[in-house]
Structure formats: C-alpha cells, structure tokens
Amino acid sequence: MQNMSECRLCILHNLHTFLNMATSWDDHRFFLAIARTHSLTAAAKSLSVSQPTVSRRLETMERGLGVRLFTRTRKGYALTPAGAELFETVVRVEEELMQADRSIKGRDQEISGRLRFTSTEIFVNGYLGPHLWSFLGTHPEIELHLACTQNLLNIGRGEADIAIRFTEKPPETLVGRRLGTVAYAIYAASSKAGQEFQGMDTDELPWIGMFDENFNRMLYGTFLPSTRPKHRVDSMAAMQAMVREGLGVSILPCYTADIDPSLTRLTPTPLIDPKFSIWMLYHRDTRHTGRLRLFADFLIDQIKKDIDLFEGRLASPSWQQTKHLT
C-alpha cells in the first residue's frame, strides 16, 4: 500500500503526464462531473453522453494515473484520497481556464455570436417570450441559447452568460443589478369552473403546489403558512395552467397571472416579500462583452417599463368585478 506522501507524488507525476495528453482535459471534465454528481448516470446526463461513455472515460483516467479515483458507496461514487487530491488540482486548473476564457470574452465588443441566457420557465413563457422575439428580430446576428430552469446554472463555469433570478441574496461571485420586487396574489379561473372558489375559506380551497417541498415552504410558507397543497405539479407554468382550467387555486406571480385573461385575482392586495426580488446577474469578467451588455440593457429597460406589473399594481380588469377573499 502506498502511503499518502508517495500517493501524492504519484498523482502529481502522473497528472503532469496526463495533462499533456491530447484528450486529457476532456477526460477531466468527466472526472469532475462524476465527483460533483456522485453518479455515472447523473454525470452522463450533465455531459449529454451515455453512461457507458462516462464509465469508459473513468477507467481510462484511472489506468493513466495508476490509482483508483472513486469508491462505490450506498450514496454513490465517493472520492478516494487520491481522487480528492486530484479533484482539488483539477478544480484549480478549471477555474484558471475559466478565468482566462472570461477575460478574453470580456474584451469582446461584438454584438454577434452566442449568448446564453437562463431564467425560470414561468418568467420566459409568461412574460419575456414576446419581448425576446422582438429583441432577436432587431439583432438577428445574436444566437440565443435559452435555458428555462429553476436550477442555478453556474455562470462562473460558463453554463450561462446572464441570468434573471428571483432571490433575496444573489451569489457573491456574481455581479448584477436588483430590478425590483415580484408581488404574488391568489388566483382562480375567471371562468365558471373557478367561480365556486370565490368566497370560500382559505383552508377549504383546493390549493395547487409543487412536488418540491422546499418550494412550497418558500412560497406558501411565506404568505399562508398553514396552507397545504392538494394537487402538485413540477413547474409554476403547470400550476398556472391547472388554475386556468378551474382545477384549484394557487399563489402566482402577478407579472404573469394579471395579464392572463383566464385568471382572476381572489386577493386585491398583492402579497409582497423582499426575498422575491428580481436580479439580473452575470460574471464580473464578462460584464463588458458587447452582446451581453446589449441584452442586459434590453432586460433592464423592459422590466423597468413593466415594474408596476411586477409589483402587483396592474391587476387584470376582471378581478375588480368579482367577490374576493379577505
């Protein structure tokens, strides 16, 4: 058995050799994916490859380095001491490469090429979509890569260039600008199917929530702590769709629900909490990139124009003519 000192020397020697191989960094991407997800399947999904490909790349690395990098546990793939040593080194290399890449991109004043934007599905589909198509029609030279996800893609690692997120405190590694606060309200269908919910006690209403209990605690726990969802879905867009069809009621953001003619507010006064602030975020090294700056200015202008909508002061006309919850 090698002691830790000998093991470290072995790793550093083999790493130096391995990093000079033509396919080395690509193999290290696979290593990092496994280390971060603790699963070959999850790593394969994150890299958009097959699970056997990930397994094969791992075997190649371990043969090249002459050590085992992972052990299989009940919780998944865990780093061995040798793997942990390699992980620290490769993460430093990754960060240096990312920093160099961001620095170069930060000097790019071109307004053409790829721009990776991420936000939530409800924000893109419920509000931003028509404005995006207008922006791209004006700037057809920009190639927009759009990721609609609740997950915080890692801007520092280049998974996105710019993001719109709803949070009280954005990551310290990013820079950006707070654009306002998102107000929420309780909504039902404006059709006959939703009229039966008007005037009901909140405890009796068929609430629609998410499978994700953390999300339910964040949203319902903030405004209606005693409420428990009856129906559950996997996205806010699906929540709004179920409310629209009269299948229940839900707490929804005013910026998307107030402009939906199929919905009616049950609470005239919006629900507001500072944790639901709108932030535009990007990395400090790329903030002066031409196409990013252009898109950032577009987002700022558009959201500022509609700030009353986001903060719940522009309700749909129908809610004023209905009976409300108190």
Q: Are residues 119 and 82 in the same domain?
A: no
Helix or strand run (H / E) with residue 116: strand 113-119
Domain boundary among 90, 106, 122: 106
- Write the CATH number for 229: 3.40.190.10
Residue 326 lies in a domain: no
- CA separation for the pair 37, 4 (Å, rounded): 25
Residue 179 lies in a domain: no
Instruction: Find, among 189, 192, 186, the residue nearest to 324 by Cα.
Output: 186
Q: Are residues 269 and 282 in the same domain?
A: no
- CA separation for the pair 287, 293 (Å, rounded): 7
Residue 178 lies in a domain: no
Beta carbons within 8 Å of 108's beta carbon, 6+ residues apart = 289, 290, 291
Residue 13 lies in a domain: yes
Q: Are residues 35 and 55 in the same domain?
A: yes
Domain boundary among 51, 82, 106: 106
Q: Are residues 140 and 224 in the same domain?
A: no
Which range among 78-87, 94-103, 200-209, 289-298 shows the weakest confidence by mean pLDDT?
94-103
Asked if pLDDT for residue 102 goes beyond 80, the answer is no
Q: Are residues 155 and 11 in the same domain?
A: no
Backbone angles phi, psi at 54, to 5 degrees: -65, -45
Q: Are residues 250 and 264 in the same domain?
A: yes
- Write the CATH number for 95: 1.10.10.10
pTM over 0.85: no
Backbone angles phi, psi at 249, to 5 degrees: -125, 165
Instruction: Find, among 191, 190, 165, 193, the residue nearest to 179 by Cα.
Output: 165
Give alpha helix (H) positions in 20-143.
24-37, 40-47, 51-65, 81-106, 121-123, 129-138
Asked if pLDDT for residue 227 goes beyond 60, the answer is yes
Q: Are residues 60 and 100 in the same domain?
A: yes
Q: Are residues 198 and 317 in the same domain?
A: yes
Count of domains forming the chain: 3
Structural domain harbouring 205: 184-274+313-321
The band of 318, judged by pLDDT with boundaries at 50, 70 and 90, is very low
pLDDT at 98: 65
Asked if pLDDT for residue 19 goes beyond 70, the answer is no
Given a contact cutoff of 8 angstroms between Cβ atoms, the answer to whether 282 and 155 are in contact is yes
Q: Are residues 54 and 192 in the same domain?
A: no
Q: Are residues 84 and 195 in the same domain?
A: no
